[in-house]
């Protein structure tokens, strides 16, 4: 009996039709986009024993992704899995620009054991040398795999399986763009049909996440505003003050490694904290942010080893639960 996998299409390079087989650049502005039914028909037939089932959604450029679309996707995925108990998992096609952020949101909020696999491509399926076909097949195999169950939301490109918490896009044009810099891949989806996992996520996610059964997510149309501010030579505090003035409930500061900001920014951070804004210290570098005594003393949260964009996602969700700094820190320490 074939294993059934739901396929949701949101557009992106994997769904684009270029102007000709040499178009690997201009398609984003001048090409057209296939819907999920056309995508399934155009890409190669799934590996034997897997049936791809189209799940209607809507196409959206990944640079135009919004928290509102995230919430709609979450509801669509939950309903699809609830309505069809025979589905082994879900494949979600997505543009690569914001793929990692959508993946982490779903990793934190989907209270399901079935694997949800995000997949994209660096070259449209109509181009010579496209990675769309192989990525799509690898994603289907992963979503149908029993080993993927309970691993949370996954990102599959270039035959590599990455955890949504750690993966990031590292290259504008290379095919091996999605990587987990500190810890590496979870496993591989190989050409012989074997899906192999060599490690598993240990932080709270999906069914164990603090956000999985959060009722506010079932009816929300957006998430609390969280802005991101970069540290650089000569940066003052104006961007932080502007974020507060424009209604940010949280701010992620992307400091110099190992999590240092300019003196002017630090003064503005203290103003933001005094105004009730939750401030998370992140870094332009890789690795965990050390919990220096000054951070809790100033009322700041440390962002663990999350990328700034992942920290922004977690902070936005955390603000639905609490604005207490200690409570937010606990969520960053466990998710």
Indicate which residues carry an active-site annotation: 13
Residues whose CB falls within 8 Å of the CB of residue 5, separated by 6 or more in sequence, listed in order: 46, 50, 51, 52, 53, 87, 88, 89, 90, 91, 140, 143, 144
User: Which of 11, 41, 50 is closest to 142 using CA atoms?
Assistant: 50
Query: How many residues are given for the chain?
Result: 335
Whether the CB-CB separation of 161 and 142 falls below 8 Å is answered with yes
């Amino acid at each position: 009996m074939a294993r059934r996998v739901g396929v949701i299409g949101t557009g992106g390079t994997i769904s684009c039709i270029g102007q000709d087989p040499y178009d690997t650049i201009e398609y984003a502005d001048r090409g057209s986009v296939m819907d999920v039914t056309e995508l399934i028909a155009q890409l190669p037939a799934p590996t034997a024993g897997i049936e791809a089932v189209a799940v209607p959604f809507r196409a959206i450029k990944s640079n135009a992704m919004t928290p509102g679309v995230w919430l709609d996707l979450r509801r669509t995925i939950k309903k699809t899995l609830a309505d069809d108990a025979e589905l082994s998992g879900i494949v979600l096609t997505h543009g690569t620009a914001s793929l990692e952020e959508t993946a982490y949101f779903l990793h934190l909020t989907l209270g399901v054991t079935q694997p949800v696999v995000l997949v994209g491509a660096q070259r449209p399926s109509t181009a010579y040398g496209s990675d769309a076909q192989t990525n799509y097949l690898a994603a289907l195999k992963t979503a149908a795999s029993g080993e993927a169950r309970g691993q949370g939301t996954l990102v599959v490109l270039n035959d590599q399986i990455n955890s949504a918490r750690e993966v990031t896009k590292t290259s504008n044009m290379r095919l091996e763009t999605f990587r987990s810099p500190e810890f590496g891949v979870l496993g591989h989806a190989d050409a012989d049909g074997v899906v192999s996992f060599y490690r598993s996520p240990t932080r709270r996610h999906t069914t164990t996440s603090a956000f999985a059964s959060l009722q506010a997510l079932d009816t929300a149309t957006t998430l609390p505003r969280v802005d991101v501010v970069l540290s650089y030579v000569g940066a003052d505090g104006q961007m932080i003050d502007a974020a507060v003035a424009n209604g940010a409930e949280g701010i992620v500061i992307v400091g110099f490694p190992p999590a240092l900001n300019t003196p002017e920014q630090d003064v503005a951070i203290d103003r933001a904290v005094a105004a009730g804004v939750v401030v998370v210290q992140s870094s332009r570098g890789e690795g965990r942010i050390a919990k220096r005594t000054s951070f809790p003393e100033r009322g700041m949260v440390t962002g663990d080893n999350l990328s700034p964009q992942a920290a922004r996602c977690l902070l936005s969700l955390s603000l639905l639960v609490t604005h207490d700094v200690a409570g937010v820190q606990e969520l960053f320490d466990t998710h």
